[in-house]
Amino acid sequence: MRPCRTALVYSPLFGNFNFGDDHPFKLQRNRLAYDLMGAYGLLDLPNMQIRDCQQASEELLLTFHDAAYIARLKEFSSSEEPRADFRFGLGDADCPVFKGVYDYAALGAGATCEAVRLVVEEGVDIAFNMNGGWHHAHRSRASGFSYLNDAVVAINWLIARGRRVLYLDIDAHHGDGVQEAFYDTDQVLTISLHESGIYFYPGTGFEDEIGEGRGKGYSVNVPLLAHTDDAMYMKAFDEVAYPLIAAFNPDIIVTQIGADTFRTDPLTNLEITTHSYGEMLSKIKRLKIPWVALGGGGYDLMNTARAWTLAWAIMNGIKLNPRLPPAFIDKIELLGYRNRVLMDAMHWADEGERVLALGAVEKSIARIKKTIFPGILGSYGAPSS
């Protein structure tokens, strides 16, 4: 059996842009993760490669995005002054307009398109783009730090080549833009585990959002209450996502593996650690289905660097020392970080909070098993033409 071939799609240009000093999204996390991977010796493995990327072409972007929106994004991107057009979601607190914003977004989309191309055309088994997973971007509107929906553009490219695609989103936020793009088709199964939209952005992703028309049953959502911990998250993954992935049996899996589910993330309220995060990714790898992974959210920079380093190690079948490399510790100390370990022990939420969260998880699972599973498990047929 040949060894697993992997590709890390990475551009030094990822760090050339800035959302603003007060914005929670910091592109420095990509470099921090890359440096930690290097400290562990994960950037020169025998069966891996590092591939650069180019901006996605406008032709590719227009397979999903509206031409007027792309034109306005390009216009604002070249401006020396901040601009705003709230009709397109541009210029608000979440999606600021800065010089080069189109170049930044198109480069991220290009990296994701390169990842899927490597899998389809060059026989790579797993490809990872840290600077991808902008699942909130809509056809003609920026939203939630997302300007171009790289996952949708890349999946459209796969569909055009006859691929059966499963999109799994484990970011703390519901993958609303991706769900919206494929809500009425049976060519893509979307599964999202996320913090509940009852009180959390973007306010979508409930169990009754199951698709429509030919897409009915091909959109699956597991909303989670605040304080959902490792055990509860794995329960949702094991009882909903994993059996559906097996039943659908896709040609390729595209995952958004945001690290904002972690218990110390400043923007979210879940209580996940590297324990369940690593378990999920290990189970995905064991399926031996061609796999493209996209970074997504994560607003504690060290959490994100640790998560994506662990992910890359799992993708390459490498077991890492749970303590961070001394040289990396010396580097991050100068930046004010006190982290010493890569992996966390399994975490349990406080009992009172856990009871409420567990009840919500069990209710969601039961509802999905009632509405999705009877007509779906074992019966996902070939997609309609």
CATH number assigned to the domain comprising residue 290: 3.40.800.20
Residue 97 lies in a domain: no
User: What is the rounded CA–CA span in Å between residue 362 and residue 234?
Assistant: 12
Cα four-point dihedral sign 284, 288, 294, 299: positive
Give the C-alpha distances (Å, rounded to integers) separating 306 from 143, 210, 225, 268: 26, 33, 24, 18
346 part of a folded domain:
yes
Our CA angle for 312, 314, 315, nearest 5°, is 65
Instruction: Give the range of the structural domain holding residue 324, as residue numbers without chain letter.
Output: 14-48+117-137+156-376
Cα 162 to its chain centre, rounded Å, is 23
Residue segments in the chain with a per-residue pLDDT below the cut of 50: 385
Q: Is residue 103 part of a domain?
A: no
Residue 136 falls in the annotated catalytic set: yes
Q: How many CB atoms sit inside 10 A of residue 44's CB?
A: 8
User: Does residue 149 belong to any structural domain of this protein?
Assistant: no
Q: How far is CA 43 from CA 10, 34, 312, in A?
A: 11, 8, 10
- Rounded CA gap, 376 and 248, in Å? 9
Residue with tokens 């992703």: 205
How high is the pLDDT of residue 381?
56
> Does the residue 71 lie in any domain?
no
Q: What is the pLDDT of residue 185?
A: 95
Q: Which residue has the tokens 């061609």?
A: 290
The pLDDT value recorded for residue 1 is: 72
CB atoms within 10 A of CB 133: 28
- Assigned domain for 106 exists: no
Q: In this predicted structure, what is the pLDDT of residue 376?
A: 66
The total number of structural domains in the chain stands at 1
Using CA atoms, how far apart are residues 294 and 104, in angstroms rounded to an integer?
Answer: 16
| DSSP code, position 241 | I
Residue 236 lies inside a defined structural domain of this protein: yes
**Active-site option among 65, 135, 136, 173:** 136
* Per-residue pLDDT, 3: 85
* Residue 148 neighbours by CB under 8 Å, 6+ apart: 56, 61, 65, 73, 105, 106, 108, 109, 134, 137
**Domain for residue 299, yes or no?**
yes
Closest CA to 10 of 104, 145, 131, 121: 131
Secondary element (H or E) of residue 234: helix 230-236
Task: For residues 336 and 374, give the distance between their C-alpha atoms in angstroms, rounded to a whole number.
Answer: 52
